[in-house]
Amino acid sequence: MRAIILAAGMGTRLRPLTFTTPKALTPVNGKPMLETQIEYLQEIGVEEIVVVTGYLAEKFEYLKEKYGVTLVHNDKYNVYNNIYTMYLVREYLHDTYVIDGDNYLHRNFLLKSPKTSMYFSARKPEFKEEWMIRYDDHYKVTDIVIGDGEHDYILCGVSYWSEDDGRYIIGKLEEAVSAGGFTELYWDDIVKDNIPDINVYLQEIHPDDSYEIDSLEDLEKLNTLLAARN
């Protein structure tokens, strides 16, 4: 089992913090978000961790010595969405965790031996323009829709992909990039468009287990919440 962490983005909504610090290395609760992710992965026995960098790539170099991770650079980080970031490391996408670098994981909910592909998902209140999961009685994902909602299960930036599903998605990634016209796509669009052909399940987590940090407002709210609990 391995892991891919997507950390190429510029984090423009976190400026001025991200003028000098990549979004994924923004400290939360006293530690860069990405380091927390790496340590949680290592706790469950994941040794091969690939971090895809882009903006301020040199700031990630210390992670190689500190944690033994592999760095892969996306030199088109400011051209395409994360579908291209995933495309660059597609060879690793089987029996693999995929984590968005801008997610703060408050608890280690990662599983040591996942049996199926899964989206780790929480019910989140009062959200807008999020990726919402639709599922059947067995928690198999039947669709992913984008919109506003209240206490629906949404994508939380952490997923696991089995050997078979990962290799299937690799093929679809290659098809999308070869065909062109993928500029506006996210890598989850590949999953969304091929749901009937893969076996991915909803794995419920607590709403407080994971927080996406997309803006200064998100960061301030989370820091206030954590301070109140300490």
Mean pLDDT of the 204-216 span: 88
**Between residues 92 and 184, the one the model is more confident about:** 92
Instruction: Give the residue-averaged pLDDT of 90-103.
Output: 93
Q: What is the pTM of this model?
A: 0.92
pLDDT at 226: 76
**Per-residue pLDDT, 150:** 81
Mean pLDDT of 138-157: 90
**Which is more confidently placed, 182 or 114?**
114
What would the pLDDT profile of 97-108 be if each residue is shown by its tens digit? 999 999 999 999
How wide is the angle at C-alpha 48 spanned by C-alphas 96 and 184, nearest 5°?
50
pLDDT of residue 230: 61
**Mean pLDDT, rounded, for 51-58:** 92
* pLDDT value at residue 125: 79
Mean pLDDT of the chain: 90
Q: State the pLDDT confidence band at 151, using cuts at 50, 70 and 90.
A: confident
Q: Across residues 187-215, what is the average pLDDT?
A: 91
Provide, rounded to the nearest whole percent, the portion of the chain with pLDDT above 70.
98
Q: Quick check: 50 pLDDT over 90? A: yes
Residue 35 pLDDT level (bands cut at 50, 70, 90): very high
Whether the per-residue pLDDT at 182 is higher than 70: the answer is yes
Question: What is the DSSP pairing of strand 96-100 with strand 27-28?
Answer: unpaired
pLDDT higher than 90, residue 201: yes
Please say whether the beta carbons of 103 and 210 come within 8 A.
yes
- Per-residue pLDDT band for 222 (boundaries 50, 70, 90) equals confident
The percentage of residues in the chain with a pLDDT greater than 90, rounded to a whole number, is 60
DSSP string covering the chain, please?
-EEEEEE----GGGTTGGGTS-GGG-EETTEEHHHHHHHHHHHTT--EEEEEEBTBGGGGTHHHHHH--EEEE-TTTTTS-HHHHHHHTGGG-SSEEEEETTEEESS----SS-SSEEEEEEEESSEEEEEEEEE-TT-BEEEEEEEEESSEEEEEEEEEE-HHHHHHHHHHHHHHHHH---TT--HHHHHHTTGGGS-EEEEE--TTSEEE--SHHHHHHHHHHHHHH-
pLDDT of residue 180: 81
Integer angstrom CA distances of residue 74 from 5, 64, 166: 13, 17, 21
